Structure 1
Amino acid sequence: MFKKSLLTGLAAVSMLAFSFPVESFAHANTHTVQKGDSIYKIAMKHGVSAQQLQAVNDKENTEIYPGEQLQLPVALSASEKDLLARLVEAEAKGESYAGKVAVATVVLNRVESDRFPDSLNGVIYDGIQFSPVLNGTINQPASAESKRAVNEAVAYQGFDRESLFFYNPDKAQSDYLSSKEVTTIIGDHVFLR
């Protein structure tokens, strides 16, 4: 009797699991536009500004269409903000506030990019991307300025020049990076896409 109940329960759970639409398994940072959606409604649902949602999707107006996939700005938990602030502190110590915002922005751009992992932890701990991860300085506490820089970068998503890389040419050389387009130079860091 118990075995029959267990099998019936498993069958029901399996049917439920496979009956959800495929889009529910889509990338966590996207939204599929439904009939009746608007930029404003989607922005409110996800806790971002309508202007930021438009900027992330390169939309000059608020027109959207059912079935369209919209990229959502990266939303971070308190622990993720702390991790990013510690990375910014270690990577951009001694740089200007603008340089710290730009470093945080690169990390957020990577989360949104198809070329990198789609989580903050995945991007930060992706191989040998960031020297503070390798040398352990990411474990040091972040300054108040680095924390503010992270908050500004989160609010700034979609309004940047889509930088995906940065480096200090006085400390590192890279043939790979030298082939990339320079988006801006802030302090000792060169930002590229």
Structure 2
Amino acid sequence: MTALGFAIMLGMTLGDAHQAEASEAIVQQGDRGGVVWDVQHRLQQLGLYQLSMDGVYGSQTRQAVAQFQRQYGLPVTGSVDLKTLRTLRANTFTVDEIEMMAKLVYGEARGESFEGQVAVAAVVLNRLKSPKFPNTVKEVIFEPRAFTAVADGQYYQRPNRDAYRAVYHAIRGWDPSEGALYYFNPDVATSGWIWSRPQIKRIDNHIFAR
């Protein structure tokens, strides 16, 4: 019998039963497998898990989960229940999404300073939060005419280590663009519309704008 069914049998309300199910551990210390690997990957994005991902829920993973729960106002158990997993996934990204963002950073900003690369990654994250744009990484990146690197094929090159680092720094909260939704190279931009956007700052070869 599931935790939900058992709770209902005991006479709990449906809301209480759902709460009981949500607090039941999905993975905990001693477990191993794909879910653990995913949890480690997401904790690593936030800088909470420093070891290599191995899919084994050891003491370091437990400590990282507890730290995440503490930071996000969740019950601190060190185990991953449904609410913890949902919160973790809402604030991090899949392996494929990290790869897409790293490829965009490399295609758009390789050769720029590290700050400039983080700023490009931050623009993607800012668009995800904005109602003006799609709500998935893939849709943001592949929106028609959104990014030059996608249009000219440079997006499809293999990103280097700095591109991945830039994405991770943006996920952890660094936004050198200061909330920008757009950026452009003033030496080549001919669109009157992009020049009309309120400008925030310039980093290397890009002007960042709202």
- TM-score band by shorter chain is 0.5 to 0.7
- Structure 2 residue aligned with 1:106: 123
Report deviation, 1:81. 0.5
Equivalenced residues, count: 131
**Partner residue of 2:107?**
90
- Which residue is 2:183 aligned to? 166
Q: CA deviation at 1:161?
A: 2.1
What residue is the counterpart of 2:31 in the other structure?
none
State, as a whole percentage, how many aligned pairs show the same letter.
33
How many Å apart are 1:174 and its aligned residue? Answer: 2.2
**CA–CA distance in 2 between the matches of 1:190 and 1:181?**
10
Contact 2:122–2:175 (CA under 8 A) maintained in structure 1: no
SS at match of 2:172: helix
Equivalence for 1:47: 88
Aligned partner of residue 126 in structure 1, secondary structure: coil
User: Separation in 2 of the partners of 1:175 and 1:166?
Assistant: 14
Q: Structure 1 residues 107, 146: closer, same or farther in 2, change over 3 A?
A: same
1:118 to 135, 154, 159: 135
* Distance in 1 of aligned mates of 2:123 and 2:129: 10
Change (3 A) 1:188 1:160: closer
Q: 1: CA distance between counterparts of 2:102 and 2:118?
A: 10
Q: Secondary structure at the match of 2:74?
A: helix
Q: Give, as a single letter, the amino acid of the residue that structure 2 aligns with 1:123.
A: V
- Deviation track 1:30-88 (CA, whole Å, cap 9, x = no partner) reads xxxxxxxx95129x83139xxxxxxxxxxxxxxxxxxxxxxx64x21111101110110
- In structure 2, C-alpha distance between the alignment counterparts of 1:143 and 1:150, rounded to whole Å: 12
> Quick one: which amino acid aligns to residue 132 of structure 1?
A
Describe how 1:1-193 pairs up with structure 2 within 5 A. 40-41=73-74, 45=84, 46-47=87-88, 73=91, 75-156=92-173, 161-193=178-210
TM-score, normalised relative to structure 1: 0.62
**Larger relative contact order (C-alpha < 8 A, sep ≥ 6)?**
1
Look up the equivalent residue of 1:47 and give its one-letter code: L
TM-score normalised per structure 2 = 0.57
Q: Secondary structure at the match of 1:106?
A: helix
- SS state at 1:41 partner: coil
Q: Residue 181 of structure 1: CA displacement?
A: 1.6
Q: Distance in 2 between matches of 1:131 and 1:176?
A: 16
What are the ranges of 5 or more consecutive residues in structure 1 without an aligned counterpart? 1-37, 49-71
Q: Which residue does 1:11 correspond to in 2?
A: none
Cα distance in structure 2, aligned partners of 1:105 and 1:159: 8
What's the RMSD between the two structures over aligned residues?
2.3
